[in-house]
Amino acid sequence: MKKSVIYFMCLFFTAGISSCVKEDFDPSEADNIVDLGGGTWAEGSIDKWINDSLITPYNINVKYKWDAFEDIGDITYITVPPKEEYITPILSAVRKTWINPYTTVASPDFFNKISPKIIYMVGSPALEESGAIKLGVAEGGKKIILLAINYTKVKGMVDYNVADSFWIKQMFLTIHHEFGHILHQNILYPIDFKNLNPSLITSNWQDYTDEEALRDGFITSYSMNTIDDDFVEMISYLLVNGDAWFEEILASIPDGISDRGTTRDQAIARLRAKRSIVVNYYKQAWNIDFATLQQKVRTAVNTLLY
């Protein structure tokens, strides 16, 4: 008896439950969800410029209007949106110093296949309690976040002077740095690079100055963060600052032994080795002549800054 009651129960329950899901879905109620597919606004001249100059040729969209849900690495940063008058001059500079060199030296196909698809622009830098400032973030090869737009003037803008070039130069470095990451995430650099100075890699890179890093054979202190960063810092600094600058930097390394035991000759040899691995990598992995690319970037940078 007991058993049959339970079976009976089970039966009813099944019936009860299945009757609950028999509900017709009325799609008419879902067809006007507010802002489904993203925010919309009346398009202006900036939107048109972005559409004509970046979306159509390269499928790169630019978000310059504030979006509270964009994540710049840490939700607690207080930031503000960019000033409108800075947007197209900066994007145009980005196109000249990054997109154009790659599309001409390599090919539009190569670039479109591999380039990040969203650029998000933020007006202020991300200021940290420690006093550090963050200028750029990249997310998994899909999006590059450019910070400090409101400080980044290019030649031709009101009140521009050469001292302002610091910010825009940082931005070029950021973009080439992040693009470098995408390159090696697609085709890894040779293992030789990893073996150059693995013991000097440290997440405490902030404790070292650029000069100290240089004495250990790193182009910047941030290069010490990871081997990947070392690789892409080499790319960005070589492209934006050029070979002449590189030679000057090497010459500036003082005699003696660094705190972490690197001699001047070792540091110079390491940096030269890194440079030649980068140059070979561009040729072998992507069939790009690094010197030509470098020259195109340098020319564009110089026209925009000085």
Partner 1 sequence: MRKLIIYIVLLVVTISSCRKEDDHLFSESPDERLSKKLSAYQEQLSGAQYGWRLIIEPAGGGAYGFYVKFNNDNRVQMVSDFDSASAVTLKESSYRLKALQQPSLIFDTYSYVHVLADPAPAVNNGVWAQGLLSDFEFFFNDSSGVDTIQLTGRVNGSKAMLVKATQQEEEGYTTGEFNVNLFQNIFNKILQYFKQFTVGGQSYDLNFNLSTRMAIITWTDSQGNAHSFTTKIYFGLNGIEFAQPFLAGTTVVTGFFDPVWSNLTQTISGNVGNGTNASIKGVIKPQVLDTEAPRRWWQRMVDEDGYWVSLTGFHVDGVDDAYGLTGIENFVALSFFPKFGTSGGITYDLAGYLMNEDGTLTLSFGTAFRAPTFTADGRIRFGNYLGDLGDIPDDAVDPYVNTAIKMLESDGYYLVQISEDEYDMVNASNARAWIHWFAP
Q: What is the DSSP string of 94-159?
A: HIIIIIHHHHHHS-HHHHHHHS-SEEEE-SS-EE-TTS-EE-EEEETTTEEEE--GGG---TTSTT
- Tell whether residue 65 is a contact of partner 1 (CB under 8 A): yes
Question: Smallest gap, in angstroms, from Cβ of residue 128 to partner 1?
Answer: 7
Question: Smallest gap, in angstroms, from Cβ of residue 62 to partner 1?
Answer: 13
Q: Which SS3 state, helix, strand or coil, does residue 63 take?
A: strand
**Among 48, 83, 113, 142, contact with partner 1 (rule: CB under 8 A):** 83
φ/ψ of residue 136, rounded to 5: -160, 155
Region 226-285 residues binding partner 1, contact defined as CB under 8 A: none
**Among 127, 196, 201, 277, contact with partner 1 (rule: CB under 8 A):** 127
- Tell whether residue 9 is a contact of partner 1 (CB under 8 A): yes
One-letter amino acid at 189 equals Y
Segment lying near partner 1 (by CB under 8 A), choices 48-56, 77-85, 92-100, 221-229: 77-85
What is the spatial distance between Cα 188 and Cα 191, in angstroms, rounded to a whole number?
A: 8
Interhelix angle 165-186/84-94, nearest 10 degrees: 50
Q: What is the DSSP string of 224-263?
A: GS-HHHHHHHHHHHHHHHHHHHHHHHHHTPPSSB-TTS-B
- Tell whether residue 19 is a contact of partner 1 (CB under 8 A): yes
Segment lying near partner 1 (by CB under 8 A), choices 72-80, 157-165, 243-251, 252-260: 72-80
Question: Smallest gap, in angstroms, from Cβ of residue 25 to partner 1?
Answer: 10
Residues found near partner 1 in the complex (CB under 8 A):
5, 8-9, 12-13, 15-17, 19-20, 23, 26, 29-30, 32-35, 39, 41-42, 44, 64-68, 77-84, 123-125, 127-129, 131, 150
